[in-house]
Amino acid sequence: MACNLVVDGIRVEIGSCKIFDNIEIRVGGGEILAIIGPNGSGKTTLLKCISRTISPVSGEIIVCGRPAREYSNREYSKTVSAMLPQWPSGFSMKSYEIVLMGCRNQSTGVWWEGEKELEVARAALGVLNAMDLYERDFDTLSSGEQRKVLIAKSLAQRTGIILLDEPVAYLDMKHKLEVMTVLRALADMGKTVLVTLHEIDLASKYCENVVVLSEGKVVAAGKPREVITSELLSSVYGVEAVVKWDEEIDYPVIVPKTGRLQRGEISCLM
């Protein structure tokens, strides 16, 4: 089950536009790695590369000691699952139908799902505390609920490596914690988890390591306590904030200093 993921100096171009160059990342079994960084820094593109949606121009992605491009679709689907939120619509589907699609990679039945797959699908929704969505139309769910169904679909793939693009976006505080707790438990069972997050405090609390991506480059990597500093927030996000680590609850407290809007254009909006 434990599987290493090594991203070895990949370079990605979309059209003539370079997204990033020479990215190096390593994640091992039992570990959650968070990728943080401002909007447009290449986080999603990186996950798309690892899930083989985009192929890098150069460099190599090595999954369990084997280059990713050598896997067949079926083999890869049993090794790496990806939750990428750009979800196609057009045909209405029930939540359980989507989650069951995640089981297809392990399935031997051509036509019907087996008993085991139904059990896995229920467990995937159950562990996310989302069983009430089981028979609902996916299109009628809120963004947060849709996110949970898509996470359940990825979990139902039962892979050693799980990639999740902003798994806690749109979720309220309780559900954010629920999702992160589930990911933590999966990692503790030996899975390799790679997430992109905007929630720096959650990243520090739940993940072994963070990688900070900015303008297509890795600007910092390491243990959250060492990486998340007020200097980093200032240089990467351009946000002045106080970062204080609460020893008692082992949790970072990030308090932004509110600034005054410098630009004069806002008066036009009155």
Partner 1 sequence: MHAQPVNKRLRLSLYVITLSIFFSLAFMISVMIGTMQLSPFEVADSIINPNSDPVARSIVLGYRIPRILFASLTGFVLGVSGGVIQTLTRNPLADPYITGMSSGAALGAAIAFVVPFLPYYAVPIMAFLGGVSMLLLSIFLAKKAGAGPIGFILAGVAVGTFASAILMVVLALASEKSHGILYWLFGSFSTSTWGDLQTASAVSMPAIIFALYKARDLNILLLGEEHAAQLGIDSRRLWLLMLLLSSLAVSACVSFCGIIGFIGLVAPHMVRLTIGSDNRFVLPLAGFTGSLLIVIADNIVRNPLNPIAEMPVGSVTSMIGVPFFVYLLIKKGKSFGM
Sites of contact with partner 1 (CB under 8 A): 51-53, 72-74, 76-78, 80-82, 84, 87-94, 96-97, 100-102, 104-105, 109-113, 115, 118, 135, 139, 157
C-alpha–C-alpha distance, residues 37 and 262, integer Å? 24
The strand pairing partners of 14, in sequence order, are 17
Q: Which long-range contacts (CB under 8 A, 24 or more apart) does 183-190 make?
A: 183/32, 184/32, 186/155, 186/162, 187/30, 187/31, 187/32, 188/30, 189/1, 189/30, 190/1, 190/2, 190/29, 190/30, 190/160
Nearest residue to 66 (alpha-carbon basis) of 187, 207, 195, 161: 161
Distance in Å, CB of 161 to partner 1, minimum:
12
Q: Provide the minimum distance between the beta carbon of 101 and partner 1 in the complex, in angstroms, as a whole number.
A: 5
For partner 1, the closer of residues 62 and 101 by Cβ is 101
Shortest CB 190 distance to partner 1, Å: 22
Rg of the chain on CA atoms, in Å: 20
Q: Which is nearer to partner 1, 118 or 186 (CB)?
A: 118
Looking at the Cβ atoms of 139 and 226, the one nearer to partner 1 is 139
**Unique residue bearing structure tokens 């989650």:** 99
Tell me the DSSP string of 71-137: S-HHHHHHHEEEE-S----SS--BHHHHHHHHGGGG---SSS--HHHHHHHHHHHHHTT-GGGTTSB
Give me the least distance between CB of 112 and partner 1, in Å please: 6
**Residue 256 and residue 240 in contact, taking contact as beta carbons nearer than 8 Å:** yes
Smallest distance from the beta carbon of 206 to partner 1, in angstroms? 25
The least distance separating partner 1 from the CB of residue 171, rounded to whole angstroms, comes to 22
Q: Which one, 81 or 196, has the nearer CB to partner 1?
A: 81
Q: Is 173 helix (H, G, I), strand (E, B) or coil?
A: helix
Which of 110, 261 has the CB closer to partner 1? 110
* C-alpha–C-alpha distance, residues 188 and 166, integer Å: 20
For partner 1, the closer CB: 51 or 204: 51
Of residues 67 and 222, the one with the C-beta less far from partner 1: 67
DSSP-derived pairing of the beta strands 161-165 and 192-196: parallel
Tokens of 70: 């050598």
We find the least distance from the C-beta atom of residue 131 to partner 1, in angstroms, to be: 13
